[in-house]
């Protein structure tokens, strides 16, 4: 066995133990985060099909997973910065806020018992505009101009609110995508009115 002269062998052994624990928790977190993302996407799909009982079931599962993951933070502060969790939480925010829009509720707090970082919330909110755009296409096929107008009102309100923010990098990209979706909805409304 090597005799170390310049390093504290016990300290390095402890660091190694901490890292191995972190890797184990990280792998578990990634697995849970993928489930959060997948179930949230399924909830959005169910929302487009107006299958509200299924939506509730899926979002309840996601909420349970998020709470489980949040407990993991207590074991390792490093986990808070894992990208897979942020992606899953964004998808969850998108699903919940899209449901609120469809149910004609005020879009606000995602869940009173789950803390959501402002960056994740804003990214998810911007993504909702894309779902509202897809919903407006469905409404156009039904010639439901009143609902398309509601889609436009909602997206305009979100965009106007976010104009006050100094969004940069990733959030700026999300915001620009939301504005593009809004412009597409304006075109749908315009073209539908021309045909009526």
CATH code (residue 90): 1.20.58.2140
Write b or e for each residue in 63-102: b if 16 or more Cβ atoms lie within 10 A of its Cβ, otherwise e.
Answer: bebbeebeebeeebeebeebebbbbbbbbbbbbbbbbbbb
pLDDT range class, residue 170, cuts 50, 70, 90: very high
If asked whether residues 75 and 121 sit together in one domain, one would say no
Residues 12 and 100 in one domain: yes
Task: Write out pLDDT tens, residues 44-72.
Answer: 999 999 999 999 999 999 999 999 888 87
Whether residue 127 has pLDDT greater than 90: yes
pTM, full prediction? 0.88
* Tokens 């021309």 belong to residue: 194
Q: Is residue 42 part of a domain?
A: yes
Residues 87 and 124 in one domain: no
Is residue 17 located within the same domain as residue 99? yes
In angstroms, rounded to a whole number, what is the distance separating the alpha carbons of residues 132 and 178? 10
Give how many domains the chain has, as a whole number: 2
Q: What is the DSSP string of 169-195?
A: HHHHHHHHHHHHHHHHHHHHHHHHHHH
Please indicate, yes or no, if residue 73 is contained in any of the structural domains. yes
Do 82 and 156 have their domain in common?
A: no
CATH number of the structural domain spanning residue 159: 1.20.58.200
Examine residue 184 and state whether it is found in any structural domain, yes or no. Answer: yes
What mean pLDDT, rounded, does the chain reach? Answer: 91
Residue 111 forms part of a structural domain: no
58 belongs to a structural domain: yes
Query: For 127-140, what is the mean pLDDT?
Result: 96
Is the pLDDT score of 196 beyond 80?
Answer: no
Q: Binning pLDDT at 50, 70 and 90, where does residue 2 land?
A: low
Shared domain check, 89 and 28: yes
State the pLDDT at residue 12.
81
Q: Give the structural domain span for 122.
A: 117-196
**DSSP letter assigned to residue 114:** S
Among residues 105, 131, 159, which one ends one of the domains? 105
Domain end (from 105, 131, 166): 105
């Amino acid at each position: 066995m090597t005799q170390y002269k310049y390093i504290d062998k016990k300290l390095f052994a402890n660091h190694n133990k901490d890292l191995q624990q972190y890797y184990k928790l990280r792998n578990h977190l990634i697995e849970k985060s993928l489930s959060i993302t997948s179930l949230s996407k399924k909830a959005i799909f169910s929302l487009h099909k107006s299958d509200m009982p299924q939506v509730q079931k899926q979002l309840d599962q996601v909420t349970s997973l998020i709470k489980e993951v949040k407990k993991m933070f207590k074991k390792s502060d490093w986990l808070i910065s894992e990208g897979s969790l942020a992606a899953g939480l964004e998808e969850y925010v998108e699903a919940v806020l899209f449901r609120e829009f469809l149910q004609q509720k005020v879009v606000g707090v995602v869940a009173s018992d789950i803390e959501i970082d402002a960056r994740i919330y804003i990214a998810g909110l911007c993504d909702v505009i894309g779902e509202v755009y897809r919903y407006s296409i469905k409404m156009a096929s039904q010639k439901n101009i009143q609902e398309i107008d509601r889609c436009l009102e909602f997206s305009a309100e979100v965009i106007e609110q976010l104009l006050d923010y100094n969004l940069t990098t990733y959030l700026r990209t999300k915001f620009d995508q939301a504005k593009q979706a809004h412009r597409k909805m304006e075109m749908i409304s315009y073209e539908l009115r021309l045909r009526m």
